[in-house]
Amino acid sequence: MMSPFDLASDKVAVLMGGASAEREISLMSGHGVLQALQGQGVNAHAFDPSVRDMVCLKQEGFTRCFIALHGRFGEDGTVQGALELMGIPYTGPGVMASAIAIDKIMTKHIWRADGLPTPNWLKVDSAAATRTALGDLGCPMIVKPSREGSTIGLTKVTSVGQCEAAYALAAGLGDEVLCEQYIAGDEVTVPVLGTCADARALPVVRIKAPDGNYDYNNKYFTDTTEYLVPAGLPDGEEARIMQLAQEAYRSLGCRGWARVDVMIDAPTRLPSLLEINTSPGMTSHSLVPMSARAAGISYQALCLLLLSSACCDYGTV
């Protein structure tokens, strides 16, 4: 349930940091958002849930939260549930959509059930099962934890000999390990804003990473990755991918904002949905602000727009 945003009276917490493997990036996102909101006169304050108890939000009179947390304990429905119980409106999708989206396996099940394209996959529980999956899915193959983001714990397996280490890396970050068919081709991402009914996609961003390796370091800490907006895709392809991203967003019941990652198969030019991020990065290297700029929305305006969309699924108390 949406609550009107009052620039003069709302006290805003920018939730950042947290306890996930993406803490460092969350702090970068959060400080960027905090500075942008304060620069527009918003009474905004930093709040790290791994340092302070969430109940302080209610005790200290915060009336709205901008979630700049990434990964577990922030992007997975847990924080959203706590805010629902306190009746404090928050940015991004609600409890159910957040909990589903963080789980890549569950997300794939729903997308496939709704007839949306996603690479073939297998859930594995051992190195031996990973080797079997390589035979079934083909080589190369992607191995990654089901509930992490930012390519943390991801391995592109190009030989049977890599399976044991790839499984161990992913399993060290969670109980569920996903083996996924590798799609060779253009990597793109599409931000989506709004509620299910009126969700709209922003311009497609095409990613050209060194040697096609868009890993954690190339995402956040180098300037060698190229980002193309306009994406320079063949005629009609960008519009189709934007429509697919909106369908993927609606399929999970998202609201507020999210970013949909897509691979385009080089020979067929058919897109496949990889995953959806329900609390995307807002750093200087982040893709949502980049796409928004191409649509004429500044970083500051984007932050205010997202904050104004904050709500609770079940109303405020």
Active site (catalytic) residues: 22, 150, 220, 259, 261, 275, 277, 281
Q: Which residues of 258-268 are buried (b: 16+ CB within 10 A; e: fewer)?
A: bbbbbbbeeee
Stated as kind and residue range, the H or E segment containing 11 is strand 11-15
Question: Per-residue DSSP letters for 207-272?
Answer: EE-GGG---HHHHHT-S--EEESS--PPTTHHHHHHHHHHHHHHHTT--SEEEEEEEEETTT--EE
- Non-local (6+) Cβ contacts of 4 within 8 A are none
Exposed (0-12), middle (13-18) or buried (19+): which is 144, by Cβ within 10 Å?
buried
Q: Which alpha helices (H) appear in 87-215, and where do they start and end?
A: 95-102, 104-113, 127-137, 163-171
Stated as kind and residue range, the H or E segment containing 301 is helix 299-308
CB distance 316 to 89 below 8 Å:
yes
- Non-local (6+) Cβ contacts of 106 within 8 A are 100
Q: How far apart are CA 90 and CA 308, in angstroms?
A: 9
- Alpha carbon 2 to its chain centroid, in Å, reads 22
97, HSE (Cβ side, Cα atoms, 13 Å): 23
